[in-house]
């Protein structure tokens, strides 16, 4: 009964909700906790950028092939956390999750990618595949393993 009461109360607060089932790109790093005793990628505290790309239908394979080559340009600072694509829900949606120390390191890291030979080529081939894109900056809770 307590759970049913909670659901009823929660439904009064929601305006909308949508779900996605995502799969991870095979060429991307598997997301790993960034805190703990053993060596981890760039331990926190971090901020995260979730970049969401809505692609033109029929372009997911081309997107994945380009990013399989391009990810090497963004792994030097271990900022690449995860890359996912939608399987159920709105289709042809891609999410890239990046970790940075702060907004300044985000800017520096992104600018450094443009100085690497080959990064511009990846952008050239993938931008025409995008219908819309969005960037969100997220700060993990203290209990998150992705500090």
11 lies in a domain?
no
Tokens of 35: 């805190």
9 lies in a domain?
no
pLDDT in the model for residue 114 = 93
6 lies in a domain?
no
Which residues, other chains included, contact 132 with Cβ-Cβ below 8 Å and sequence gap of 6+?
Answer: 53, 54
Q: How many helices and strands (H and E) does the chain possess?
A: 4, 5
102 lies in a domain?
yes
144 lies in a domain?
no
67 lies in a domain?
yes
Range of the domain at 25: 19-138
Tell me phi and psi for residue 132, to 5 degrees: -145, 160
91 lies in a domain?
yes
Condensed to tens digits (0 to 9), the pLDDT of residues 77-109 reads: 788 999 999 999 999 999 999 999 999 999 999
Condensed to tens digits (0 to 9), the pLDDT of residues 30-84 reads: 777 765 544 455 566 899 999 999 999 999 999 999 999 999 888 877 889 999 9
Q: Which residue has the higher pLDDT, 60 or 7?
A: 60
How many of the other CB atoms lie within 10 Å of CB of 115? 9
3 lies in a domain?
no
CATH number of the domain that residue 37 is part of = 3.30.70.100
Dist CA 95 CA 84 (whole Å): 5
Q: State the total domains in the chain.
A: 1
């Amino acid at each position: 009964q307590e759970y049913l009461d909670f659901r009823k109360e929660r439904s009064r607060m929601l305006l909308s909700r949508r779900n996605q089932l995502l799969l991870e790109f095979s060429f991307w790093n598997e997301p790993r906790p960034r805190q703990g005793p053993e060596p981890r990628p760039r331990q926190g505290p971090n901020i995260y950028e979730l970049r969401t790309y809505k692609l033109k239908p029929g372009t997911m394979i081309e997107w994945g092939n380009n990013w399989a080559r391009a990810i090497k340009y963004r792994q030097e600072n271990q900022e690449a956390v995860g890359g996912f694509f939608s399987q159920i829900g709105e289709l042809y949606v891609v999410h890239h999750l990046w970790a940075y120390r702060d907004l300044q390191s985000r800017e520096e890291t992104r600018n450094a990618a443009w100085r690497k030979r080959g990064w511009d080529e990846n952008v050239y081939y993938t931008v025409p595949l995008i219908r819309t894109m969005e960037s969100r900056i997220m700060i993990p809770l203290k209990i998150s393993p992705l500090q």
